[in-house]
Amino acid sequence: MRRRAVLGATVLLMLAASVACSRVPGASAPVEVGKVGGPPSSPTVNVSIPPPRPGATISQIVSGFLDASSIGAATDHSVAREYLTPRAAARWSPDAGATIYEGQPYVNAVGDNTAKLIVPRSGSLAANGSYTSSSGTVTELFHLLKVRGEYRITDPPNGLLVTATDFGNPNYFTQSNIYFLSPVRDVVVPDPRYFAVPPAARPNRLLQALLQGPSAWLAPAVDTDLPLGARLHQNVIASGSEVTVDLTGLGSLPAQQLRGLAAQVVWTLSNGSAATGTTVRLLQDGQPIVIPGVSTDEQASDWASYDPDTLAANSTLYVVDAHRLVTQQGPLAGRLGDGYYRATSARLSLDLRHVAVVTTTGASRSGPPAGGQRLYVGPSAGSLHAGPVGRSFTLPTWGGVSTVCWTVRNQHELVQVSSADGTSHVVSDAALAAVAPITAMSFSRDGTRVAVIGNGGVLYVGRVSRARGATTIEALRSVFPARDEFTAVTWASSTQLAGLAPGDASLPVLWSVAVDGVTTTEASNNGLPSYPVAVAAAVNQLTVVAAAQSMWYLAGNTWLPLPSSTNAPVDSILQGSSPSYPD
């Protein structure tokens, strides 16, 4: 697993922040970035990679090739090719993806001209830079011939063989998000990628990735406003923090599609953060693309309305205390705040207009049977509709849509509930059925992905497909194979999950897990009265856990008590359980 770390003070305060910032050349003179459809520009990272030494053995040649392949982006893989026969060097394609492996490779000569590599696999990169966590063993056979008296490899596997350590080094591989659109085209959706290209070549590589479309895993869940046939008209030009992108093949697009296109390009080049200072000038066949109300020099802040992590104004933390739904401002008005529904968990929709409440035995007259639960849904400022009954429900989740909420009943049934009248139906979903029993489920706030805890504590991320009017969860993949005892999960941002699972001390702790599983970061329980049992997180909000029936928030590397009200003494503690932010 790549980039495993213990959360430090700075990281903890930014748990729900975006990951990395896009970098462009710092020189003031314009720089032609890469080649349209061609290889990346010359490297800028100084790395010493030894070429083959005279008289090297078969095993030494293969080991040297592996080292040069792992970090070869810094030299455009020229040194790695020196370990190959001339014909193999001409045919080898380092851009065909990568296999990521753990530890030091074991290379063993198994014949006069053959060597075998055996090493633990930790993941793989597709040619488009998308990562998939995996396990097992990498086994490769290398055949060698002598060229002018020296062994050289004849049949290297296409793509790179990269150590997990080198994959985690930003000098060799840098993380970027390629942004596409949610199905309703109201927010952008990040598609994490990892590229072994020099900094100067990154803007061009990012645009090429955007034009090529989403990764195969994410594609059924997202859309794009870049039309089929769109391509770069000329090389991307960078001058300081200003980037000029000239596109062709757009045709005549309606204004709304141009807005979506611009949002995708600008968010991709700025990696979703106005803090990068990146300014993008969009051209079509050499002429400025004019979008009403938007400057021709665009920044991420111009497209803030597409932010997948924005909560509604007045959003706050919600907690269940004595069956009441409360905030730091006190109990909510009406029956939600007086205990009428005997709530055990609840979540508001992203727009704050609707709420879903899980109740326990002894609720109102239409409450659940003894020992059971009922889900209530409806307007957050009015009476709720009685929904389905069951032995158990996961914390409801909305996924950015206020018309329906979702939950898993009895650890096996995916249930969709209408907020208009409480009607529900069970959705047959093969992907979820394959990982049942399910103890937690949370939709991303952009509505395109879902985090699931199944199979006794395994953390999965799946995509949400909404084809032909039907919503299905598909392609669940484990994102933290090394931990299989998760008890809670939520979305800290569109790229990060916050979950609870045993740490190195075997007690539940907070984990920050990248949506693709590349990074996993452990927090300590320093300051908590007991181990955490529930977690709530969102961008620009406190990360909060429930421990000993009280709320605690993360400050640096220490948990502090969350005051019971905004005016309460600092040593007061907000009591309750099941914390949540709207989704």
pLDDT of 516-575, one tens digit each? 999 999 999 999 999 999 999 999 999 999 999 999 999 999 999 999 887 766 668 999
Q: What is the mean pLDDT of residues 319-326?
A: 95
**What proportion of the chain, given as a percentage, has pLDDT over 90?**
67
At 10 the pLDDT is 35
- Two tokens at 479? 């994102």
Asked whether the predicted pLDDT for residue 386 surpasses 90, the reply is yes
Q: Which residues pair with 48 in a beta bridge?
A: none
At 46 the pLDDT is 53
- Which has more confidence, 76 or 210? 210
Asked whether the predicted pLDDT for residue 48 surpasses 60, the reply is yes
Nearest 5 degrees, angle CA 16-CA 17-CA 23? 155
CA 558 and chain centroid, separation: 25
At 285 the pLDDT is 94
- Two tokens at 131? 């990562």
**What proportion of the chain, given as a percentage, has pLDDT over 70?**
88
Angstrom distance (rounded) from CA 406 to CA 409: 10
At 370 the pLDDT is 58
Considering the chain, tell me which residue range(s) the CATH 2.120.10.30 domain(s) occupy. Answer: 318-580
**Residue 67 CB coordination number (10 Å):** 19
- Which has more confidence, 406 or 236? 406
Half-sphere exposure of residue 365: CA atoms within 13 angstroms, side-chain side:
0
Residue range 318-580 in CATH 3.40.50.360? no
Half-sphere exposure of residue 25: CA atoms within 13 angstroms, side-chain side:
23
At 26 the pLDDT is 30
At 74 the pLDDT is 60
Per residue in 412-446, pLDDT (tens digit) is 999 999 999 999 999 999 999 999 999 999 999 99
Task: Provide the pLDDT confidence category of residue 13 given band limits of 50, 70 and 90.
Answer: very low
Angstrom distance (rounded) from CA 296 to CA 427: 46
Task: Provide the pLDDT confidence category of residue 367 given band limits of 50, 70 and 90.
Answer: low
Find all residues with CB under 8 Å of 516, minimum gap 6, and list them. Answer: 130, 131, 132, 133, 192, 461, 479
Asked whether the predicted pLDDT for residue 202 surpasses 90, the reply is no
Question: What rounded mean pLDDT belongs to the chain?
Answer: 87
Asked whether the predicted pLDDT for residue 352 surpasses 80, the reply is yes
| C-beta separation of 489 from 508 below 8 A | no
| C-beta separation of 422 from 403 below 8 A | no
Q: What is the mean pLDDT of residues 361-383?
A: 75
Considering the chain, tell me which residue range(s) the CATH 3.10.450 domain(s) occupy. Answer: 48-167
pTM of the model: 0.87
How is domain 48-167 classified at the CATH fold level?
Nuclear Transport Factor 2; Chain: A, (3.10.450)
At 175 the pLDDT is 92
At 31 the pLDDT is 33
At 4 the pLDDT is 44
Q: Which parts of 308-423 are beta strand (E)? A: 318-321, 324-327, 330-331, 343-348, 354-359, 373-379, 385-390, 404-409, 413-418
